[in-house]
Amino acid sequence: MRMISLTLCVALLGAGALLVGSEPRDAKEIELELPQHAVAVLVPTRGHQARGVIEFTQTPRGVRIAGTIRGLTPGKHGFHIHEFGDLRSADGTAAGDHFNPGGARHGAPGHEQHHYGDFGNIEADDEGIANVILQADWMKLHFVVGRALVVHAEADDLESQPSGDSGPRAGIGVIGIARPREAREAAAGETRQPARRE
């Protein structure tokens, strides 16, 4: 019994040494590429029905934002990136204010002054569906990953400070690093493969 315990201890110590030896000696040795694709899955806040999927793609010109949001009231809705990817409040307020690291005034994306996270408005049709296609030339994707994307219940007037008077937050999602399209398509193809009989 004592011999078995001793052998087991030696084996465990050896395995531990191998694991420690396999770790990088210095975190500086690790090189990660900046994210090129991100996705936000919007869910409704309390009392609302807004939900959808918005994809972000880094381009040479900035960031392309595209997707579809359903469950909105017809008309315009404020659309912004907020400071924190914190969804712990039912009304979305844990996400903080508009993402505004430069301390700019709130405004339309084309204005000289606007928050880094200001996208202006998106517009929902009579069925409450908004198809989103935007180009944020000022944006770098890695600055917004981990923050919240918010669609508001009302239109952004693009003037009122500090946030355009666009009403409560109707839908919210965290902007997360997305699996690259090629990998998603490959995974989907593998899933569709019929099971082979042995």
Residue numbers annotated as active site: 80, 82, 98, 106, 115, 118, 152, 169
Is the C-alpha dihedral spanning 157, 135, 147, 70 positive or negative? positive
Element containing residue 59 per DSSP (H, E) = strand 51-59
DSSP-derived letter for residue 194 is P
Q: What are phi and psi of 140, to 5 degrees?
A: -115, 130
Please give the Cα distance from 71 to 30 (Å, whole number): 43
Q: Provide the CB-side half-sphere exposure for 198 (13 A, CA).
A: 0
DSSP-derived letter for residue 119 is E
Per the listing, tokens 């110590």 go with: 13
